[in-house]
Structure 1
Amino acid sequence: MARDSDGFVVLGSIFRRGFYPDAFTFSNLINGLCMAGKIKKAIEFFRKMVSVGCRPDVVTVGTLITGLCRTGNVTVALQLFEEMNNGNGEFGVICKPNTVCYTTIIDGLCKYGLVGKAKKLFSEMKTKGINPDVITYTTLIYGLCNTSNWEEAKTLFIGMLEEGVKPNVVTFNVVIDKFCINGKMDEANGLFQLMINRGVCPDTITYNRFLSGFCLAGQIDDARRLFDSMASVGCKPDVFSYNILMEGLCLTNKIDDAKELLASMLSMGCTPDVVSYNTLIKWYCKNRKIDEALNLYEEMTSEGVRPNVVTYNTLLSGFFMNGNVRHAKKLFE
């Protein structure tokens, strides 16, 4: 629960006692407002801070920039960021931005498709002697991959290595994910090998990316082999791993194998979720096996998994496909 109001009670007490809060105090209150989603109040409070003669430092400004980007106010965040360099603007602040400030803005720009501007800021920070870190590189690489700028992403990745910035598992996962989604499995495998060679251990997310890629490419046997090998390398499949493989098996009409996979989840200590059941229910209904779909529906409710609107819509569709209007009405009620 947000306690930003309590923070302002304390601030009032500070003023009444004749003390003056510093930038650290204001930063914490601004962060509290941002975390509570009260971004307009955070901006107002930031301006009040300046008006009472307390000069914001890079942490204060960075806090507000983070809050603005998190709430989609990237334009305002960029305005504040640019003002840090020259002090001319409505915020009345000037201080040198650091790596965190640049990275936050670059991340916000990339998430809203403004990759061109993000690239300019990346070049600017290097020109000013502010070194990008692994998070900065990963953020921009993600933005480039999202806009299918594969060659630029590759060049940036190589540049990262040349600069001595070590990519972490998140960096590799970002690029591998985009390669897999776009069917570039050879490139993804190449990155996987590089990842191993550089001593970066793949995690469950890495393997899930590959499972999804193999299933999308129709390479279900490769997906199954990869799934079966996960435990041997210390990556226990999670519910997402099972759901991805079940969907892939269903896509290749191996519904019985998918049902066996669902049954094995509990024995392996992995609890199926609503997506697990919905995946199979959908394919049973699609193949007009409404009795099997209903059995799964009853199983999920007995296991304490609550059906959602997708479950009901799928079953309704299955009933109508089989001409069971009466059952459809009963389920709808």
Structure 2
Amino acid sequence: MGLLPDLFTLTILINCFCNVGRVCDGFVVFGRILRWGSSPNVVTFTSVIKGLCLENRSMEAVELFKQMVVFGVRPNVITYETLINGLCRTRNTSIALRIHEEMGEQGFQPKVVMCNTMISGLCKEGKMEEANGYFELMIQRGLQPNVVAYNTMISEICKEGKMEETNGYLELMIQRGLQPNVVTYNSMISGLCEEGKMEEANGLSNEAKELLISMESNGCKPDGFVVFGRILRRGLRPNVVTFTCLIKGLCLENRSLEAMELFKKMAVFGVRPDTITYRTLIKGLCQTGNTSVALGLHEEMGASNGEGSVIFKPDIVSYGSIIDGLCKDGLVDKAKELVLEMKGRRIKPDVVVFNSLIYGWCFVGNLEEAKGLFVEMADQGLHPNLLMYNTMINGFCKEGKIEEANWLLKFMIQRGLEIREFYESLQGNDLKGN
């Protein structure tokens, strides 16, 4: 007669299945435990609850949690923490709070890590009032929120634009002997830049002044650099996120050339820009009419890709920004070259790129190229907007090409656009003989 595996062995097996995302297999083993007359213990239940939470099935995990009582099994700290973490990750913080209260009633003291999870979950759901209340409750119960908890609160408050409240958390953090890190300051810089607050950057180190010298000569003194100075004074090294936040702030205020100067200074700190840095700067340059500078940056990055340098991977966003800028400047041939480059990189043009090109060809009077793009868009299942149709129809009419205008009208109808909407959008455009 063969030996049946005991509860310990089966629980290990369940845990293995659940850890690798095979919860269904875990339940099969769980059923064997019951059929063989064994009683699952707290480790068995917790393993399955963990597996369900890893698959974002937290509500099923709650139901299993309730079944533990039926089997007379008392949850332990790990059970509670696992379930609360899963509920927060799936944005079920209201239930997580109830489970948390039950945990306290059972005499279990939550750990700081679990409290951070609660704060993070509440913040992600936009429940800042509850997050703030929970934060204060932690302190009242003698729990010291750690840097992660403070950073989470500061980050979300910055997104709401409440910078004075953010400073309060920063000061409280320092008073309690916690050291703010780059993540802390990155959030603050981002918030300040988003608000566009500008004032003199006081108290910066010599290294920071060297970084800002070219900007100060142009009267550029972002408030974000006050926080940048704090980073340096505390002996922290600014990273790519720090610089990207500042560059974004400058671009939002249409000061892209100053952002370009800051970009060049990143090397002073040994910081390499990433794709988000390039994308942000290229977009900002194009929006301020500095497309040639953006194009130079694009070409420079492509030429420098290789060993020992950052690998810049242009995407549809960066390409779209430059192509749009080139078309508005009438440099459609260059824009066409970039489209071919995109396709060579296996990046498919989207509606934004097509619309930019159609506008560009109409702008330089090459309506045949624009017409060809309409057909190409249709073949790819994309649809020009009404503005693009109107641009082309106006172009055909100005050149006396009424038949071409009629062709485009039929094309619109075939693509499902309402003729009434089309005529209303024309607002007096003279298109007779339809």
TM-score for both structures, normalised by structure 2: 0.69
Q: Cα–Cα, structure 1 residues 315 and 52, in superposed 2: closer, same or farther, change >3 Å?
A: farther
Ranked by relative contact order (alpha carbons within 8 Å, sequence separation 6 or more), the top structure is 1
Q: Go from structure 1 to structure 2 and tell me whether the alpha carbon gap of 1:230 and 1:70 turns closer, same or farther (over 3 Å shift).
A: same
After superposition, the Cα gap between the structure-2 partners of 1:106 and 1:320, relative to the gap in structure 1 and judged at 3 Å, is: farther
Distance 1:202 1:24 in 2: 44
Q: Which residue of 1 aligns with 2:157?
A: 144
Distance 1:20 1:309, change over 3 A: farther
Deviates more, 1:192-201 or 1:155-164: 192-201
Shift of 1:141: 1.4
Distance, in Å, in 2 between the alignment partners of 1:274 and 1:99 is 42
Structure 1 residue ranges without an equivalent (≥5): 88-93
Mapped contact 1:319–1:328 kept (Cα < 8 A): no
How far is 1:24 from its partner? Answer: 4.0
Gaps in structure 2 of 5+ consecutive residues: 1-19, 199-221, 306-311, 380-434
In angstroms, what is the RMSD of aligned CA positions?
A: 2.4
Match of 1:295 among 327, 337, 361: 337
Cα distance in 1 for partners of 2:105, 2:280 equals: 50
Identical-pair percentage: 36
Correspondence for 2:74 among 55, 63, 69: 55
Corresponding position: 1:213 with 2:237: no
Partner of 1:91: none
- 1:9 and 2:9 equivalent? no
Q: Which has the greater radius of gyration? A: 2
Q: How many residues align?
A: 327
Q: Distance in 1 between matches of 2:271 and 2:223?
A: 22
Q: Which amino acid aligns with 2:258?
A: D
The 1-side partners of 2:162 and 2:276 are apart by 28
2:47 pairs with 28, 43, 51, which one?
28
* Aligned residue number for residue 171 of structure 1: 184
1:237 to 255, 273, 298: 273
Tell me the residue number matched to 2:295.
259
AA matched with 1:244: T
Q: 1:13 to 1:275 in 2, by over 3 A?
A: same
Query: Which residue in the other structure is 1:126 paired with?
Result: 139
Q: Aligned partners of 2:191, 2:94: CA distance in 1, in Å?
A: 27
Q: What is the CA distance between 1:250 and its match in structure 2?
A: 1.1
Aligned-pair CA distance for 1:10: 3.5
- Alpha-carbon displacement from aligned partner over 1:114-155 (angstroms, at most 9, x marks no partner): 212211111111111111000111111122222222212101
Q: In the aligned structure 1, how far is the partner of 2:97 from the partner of 2:40?
A: 27
Cα distance change of structure 1 residues 112 and 15 upon mapping to structure 2, 3 Å threshold: same
Partner deviation per Cα, 1:45-74 (whole Å, 9 max, x = no partner)? 222233322222233222222222222222
When normalised by structure 1's length, the TM-score is 0.88
Question: What displacement does 1:37 show?
Answer: 2.3
Q: Corresponding residue for 1:72? A: 91
Q: Which moved more, 1:150-159 or 1:27-36?
A: 27-36
The C-alpha deviation readout for 1:168-212, integer Å capped at 9, x for no partner, is 221111111111111125432111111111122211111111111
What is the deviation of 1:213? Answer: 0.9
